[in-house]
Amino acid sequence: MPRVVNSVSDHDPTIGTERRDGGRLKSVGNWPVRCFQVLVSLALAGACSAAAVGGIASTQPSQVVVSADRSGSFANLFLLTSGGALRRLTSKKAEQTDPALSPSGTELAYVQAASATCVSCPSTIWIVNTDGSHIRGLTYPQPYNSNPTLWDESPSWSPDGKQIVFSRESDFSYELFTIPNTGGTPRDLFVGGVSPAWGPTRIAYIVLPFERPGPVSLWTIKPNGSDATEVTSGFIESPAWSRDGDLAYLNQPPGGKPILVVMAGGAMRQYSLPLAQATSVSWSPDNKHLAVVAQARPQGKFDVYSIGADGSGLRRLTTNADALSATWGI
């Protein structure tokens, strides 16, 4: 099965991966380098109207969680209500990124650095209820007290909401782990990869190349880490499963327009987006639309867009949000 042993500092400069500098996560490759991160969160309470969701009607409560740097120093978690206001969920002076809504929509997993200011601080997985209550560390404090060179990233929930898969980075490797949502000892899947996404039956993930620069490869495994299968390769970012088992991801070729790829029913459909760059994709609860974080023009701000799973109806949902990632859930 594929394994990765390269340091984060060796990331391909042509793909949207991340590295640390001065204790903050900074973007390289397709993402502009930032001194701060925004995970833009839109919470749409109640049955969403078309106006509340950029023209997309929904028949069930829906929330798109994004995190925002309101202090100019570090990102916390917020909900953007249907009225357009940001409602604070957390207020800790620490960098909080990579939000992922649980299948029930009642809990939010995210990544938190130990501090917003220390150099190369470890990052850990945390959970908070979407009403802002009951914040608890999932992979903190062990083993970070004895080994401060580990970074847990990219949490993704199992379909039943009982487990979370995440990638753990050390100085020289990336490995996938699972952990119960109630905590405990992480289970090593012995699979090297980043950006895991847990689907109805399999986990998708990205394997970085041993030689840089170059394209990455997209793989899937069973939840126990077996049956590693390569799906495709390219300049792939942000794999995401729908609840129906369709797999979407972004293909961001160097110097080209971003491409949204949707694999459904045995067919692969590709939609070139009229945008400069895209970094993140997430399915809507009804499996008919996706949220895409993208930049309309070079040097512009990143915003959240919605688009149909058939590539139609691209709509901008935020304006100058400086978004990094979005998660769309019930």
Q: Which helix (H) or strand (E) holds 125?
A: strand 123-129
Which residues are paired to 267 by β-bridges?
Answer: 264
State which residues form the domain around 234.
8-329
Please report whether residue 3 resides in a domain. Answer: no
Q: Which helix (H) or strand (E) holds 270?
A: strand 267-272
Report the percentage of the chain scoring pLDDT > 90. 47
pLDDT tens for 113-151 read: 866 666 667 889 999 998 888 999 999 866 656 666 789
Please report whether residue 190 resides in a domain. Answer: yes
Which residue type does 136 have?
R
pLDDT band at 224 (very low <50, low <70, confident <90, very high): very high
Cα–Cα distance measured from residue 168 to residue 170, given in angstroms and rounded to the nearest whole number: 7
CATH number of the structural domain spanning residue 209? 2.120.10.30
Report the mean per-residue pLDDT for the chain. 78
Cα–Cα distance measured from residue 173 to residue 215, given in angstroms and rounded to the nearest whole number: 18
Residues 6 or more apart whose CB falls under 8 angstroms from that of 165 comprise: 155, 156, 158, 176, 177, 178, 189, 196, 198, 203, 223
Please report whether residue 303 resides in a domain. Answer: yes
Which residues are paired to 241 by β-bridges?
Answer: 247
pLDDT band at 326 (very low <50, low <70, confident <90, very high): confident
Q: How many CB atoms lie within 10 A of CB 314?
A: 17
Please report whether residue 2 resides in a domain. Answer: no
Query: DSSP for 202-257?
Result: -EEEEE--SSSSS-EEEEEE-TTS-S-EEEEEESEEEEEE-TTS-EEEEE--TTS-
pLDDT tens for 55-97 read: 323 334 578 877 767 667 777 777 766 655 567 788 888 888 8
SS3 for 2? coil
Indicate the DSSP class of residue 32. P
Cα–Cα distance measured from residue 195 to residue 189, given in angstroms and rounded to the nearest whole number: 14
pLDDT tens for 18-42 read: 333 333 333 333 323 232 233 333 3
Sign of CA dihedral 68, 69, 75, 78: negative
Nearest to 11 by CA among 23, 27, 34, 33: 27
- The distance in angstroms from the start CA to the end CA of the chain is 35
SS3 for 8? helix
User: What is the pLDDT averaged over residues 97-114?
Assistant: 91
Please report whether residue 159 resides in a domain. Answer: yes
For position 149, what pLDDT does the model report? 74
pLDDT band at 51 (very low <50, low <70, confident <90, very high): very low
Please report whether residue 133 resides in a domain. Answer: yes
In the chain, how many domains are there? 1
For position 229, what pLDDT does the model report? 98
Cα–Cα distance measured from residue 25 to residue 28, given in angstroms and rounded to the nearest whole number: 10
Please report whether residue 204 resides in a domain. Answer: yes
**Residue 126 contacts residue 140 (beta carbons within 8 Å):** yes
More confident call, 129 vs 205: 205
Report the percentage of the chain scoring pLDDT > 70. 72
Cα–Cα distance measured from residue 81 to residue 265, given in angstroms and rounded to the nearest whole number: 35
More confident call, 317 vs 238: 238
Task: Report how far apart, in Å, the C-alpha atoms of 70 and of each of 90, 95, 98, 276, 290 are.
Answer: 11, 11, 16, 26, 26
Range of lowest pLDDT (48-62, 209-223, 289-303): 48-62
